[in-house]
Amino acid sequence: MAEDILGRCRAIVGDAHVITDEATMAPFMADWRGRYSGRGLAVVLPSDTAQVAAIVAACAAARVPIVPQGGRTGLVMGSVPDTSGAAIVLSLRRLNRIRAIDPLNRTMTVEAGCILADVQAAAGEAGMLYPLSLAAEGSCTIGGNLSTNAGGTAVLRYGNTRELCLGLEVVNAQGEVWDGLRGLRKDNTGYALRELFIGAEGTLGVITAAVLKLYPAPRAALTALVALDSPRQAVELLGLLQARCGAALTGFELMSAFCLDLVAAQFPDLPRPFADRHPQYALVELSSNESDAHAHGLLESSIGEALEAGVARDAVVATSNKQALDLWRLREHIPLAQAAAGKNIKHDISLAVSRIPGFIARADAALQQAFPGCQPVTFGHLGDGNLHYNVAPPAGESHEAFLGHQAAVNRIVHDLVADCGGSISAEHGIGMLKREELARYKSPVELGMMRAIKAALDPLGIMNPGKIL
């Protein structure tokens, strides 16, 4: 039986593109964070959509599960198989062509296996911007971005991956090709299939290509670091800057003092922009399609207004690209500093922006009560209401031992998120990691509709089983 399907796969993609030896398969089976490895029957690497369709049809006929895989940088174990060894891993990495760029429509048609950084570069060469930007951009693929509706640092202005996609090509669970590669900004002709496949983590079908939205590249981008009293003040500053700058405000990241302490301890060569330690910091990015002078004038007058209105303590505006990169480096080094200091307990939550200050206060208090001295590492995309509310052990205590409290910490944080009407997965998805949490926090009505859709589109249950539901 296993040999039958492997033979069919070899006939479709060629012997060289069906990997079955354990050592070569190993990296395709391993979770990005190294917490987990699954097992698979084979790794199959088709080169085009027709081959993907043929593989899926063969698997459907043989009832063999399929785990679609992109750059495998996901954080919720969504693109690796379970340990049964029954599934084939379908790697899309050979579908990596940029099929077309349409400058007048501001769109680009790309295959699922294109690396995000390559897509950004191709847009740049055409004088435009593909705004999706996230830490894994050098390895993650467009298919994975779409399947997880990836977020990142440009969501405030440009939206999640969902908002950056105008059309999809999908191989459904029956092995049929749906050509939905429309570069249309308006199209009200029936159900939102595109939206359904986006964020479905490969459980409804395999995204093979997409039409992406491009934007005019801004002529100027400026970065500032603003020192703040509190999360509440950060929310007020965000409101002031949005009112004053509109869409020119393209980034707004929150970082607590403890985050920058961590960075300073682990990366002492990075600059420390303020002489004093402040409770919170906002990293602010402003972009202009007009000119550098326009961006400067707007940022300086807005921050001046904020200081005057008492919604900021202090601010530094980067006066060179190097300074701007250094400020962004502070933000980007938080996860690295965490990792260097030892593992901690991570969350990827979202809330209404207005509820962030209250949530942080309540979560900090509840955790202190349960785990006195524990250290919240609070940072994230405040403009989107998205916090990476991570928790480190009390100073001097063992990180490994603290990880033993993960379930209890998750329960405190996620119960509070649910109580505040928030989401337990803002931008990372569900995968295998948060499947039980999803079942706990979603209403039976919502779970019921999700199961009905899964059964309707994948009645054999072969698409990425064990993920989400």
* Dihedral sign from CA coordinates of 120, 163, 55, 21: positive
Minimum CB distance to its own copies smaller for 122 or for 418? 418
Minimum CB distance to its own copies smaller for 99 or for 442? 442
Question: Judged by CB under 8 A, which of 34, 125, 189, 395 binds its own copies?
Answer: 189
Minimum CB distance to its own copies smaller for 33 or for 244? 244
How far is 90 from 67, CA to CA, in rounded Å? Answer: 6
For its own copies, what does the binding mask look like between residues 341 and 380, x meaning CB under 8 A? ---------xxxxxx-------------------------
Near its own copies in 153-182, by CB under 8 A: 155, 157, 159-160, 162-163, 172, 176-180, 182
Size of the site for its own copies (CB under 8 A): 95
Least Å distance, CB 170 to its own copies, is: 9
Least Å distance, CB 331 to its own copies, is: 17
3 state DSSP class of 445: helix
Question: Judged by CB under 8 A, which of 2, 442, 460, 461 binds its own copies?
Answer: 442
Cβ–Cβ under 8 Å, residues 280 and 233: yes
Cβ–Cβ under 8 Å, residues 303 and 225: no
Minimum CB distance to its own copies smaller for 114 or for 245? 245
Long-range pairs, 132-140, Cβ under 8 A, ≥24: 132/158, 132/161, 132/164, 135/332, 135/335, 136/71, 136/73, 139/71, 139/72, 139/73, 139/115, 140/70, 140/71, 140/73, 140/115, 140/116
Question: Judged by CB under 8 A, which of 9, 18, 29, 198 binds its own copies?
Answer: 198
> Of 154, 163, 151, 148, which is closest to residue 78 (Cα–Cα)?
148
Least Å distance, CB 238 to its own copies, is: 8
Any contact of residue 186 with its own copies (CB under 8 A)?
yes
Any contact of residue 216 with its own copies (CB under 8 A)?
yes
Q: What is the DSSP letter of 276?
A: S
Least Å distance, CB 42 to its own copies, is: 27
Any contact of residue 233 with its own copies (CB under 8 A)?
no
Question: Judged by CB under 8 A, which of 120, 139, 183, 341 binds its own copies?
Answer: 183
Any contact of residue 105 with its own copies (CB under 8 A)?
yes
Long-range pairs, 320-326, Cβ under 8 A, ≥24: 323/223, 324/221, 324/222, 324/223, 326/270, 326/271
Question: Judged by CB under 8 A, which of 185, 272, 277, 322 binds its own copies?
Answer: 185
Any contact of residue 432 with its own copies (CB under 8 A)?
no
Least Å distance, CB 270 to its own copies, is: 28
3 state DSSP class of 316: strand
Provide, for the chain, the percentages of residues in helix, strand and coil under a 3-state DSSP scheme, each rounded to the nearest 5: 40, 20, 35
How far is 207 from 341, CA to CA, in rounded Å? Answer: 38
Please provide the size of the chain in residues: 469
Minimum CB distance to its own copies smaller for 99 or for 329? 99
Question: Judged by CB under 8 A, which of 27, 138, 239, 394 binds its own copies?
Answer: 239
Minimum CB distance to its own copies smaller for 22 or for 176? 176
Minimum CB distance to its own copies smaller for 45 or for 76? 76
How far is 20 from 41, CA to CA, in rounded Å? Answer: 7
Near its own copies in 240-279, by CB under 8 A: 242-248
Cβ–Cβ under 8 Å, residues 242 and 361: no
For residue 454, the tally of other CB atoms under 10 A from its CB is 19
Question: Judged by CB under 8 A, which of 3, 125, 190, 401 binds its own copies?
Answer: 190
Near its own copies in 293-312, by CB under 8 A: 298
How far is 387 from 186, CA to CA, in rounded Å? Answer: 32
Minimum CB distance to its own copies smaller for 248 or for 317? 248
Burial label for 404, CB within 10 Å (0-12, 13-18, 19+), is exposed
Near its own copies in 52-71, by CB under 8 A: none
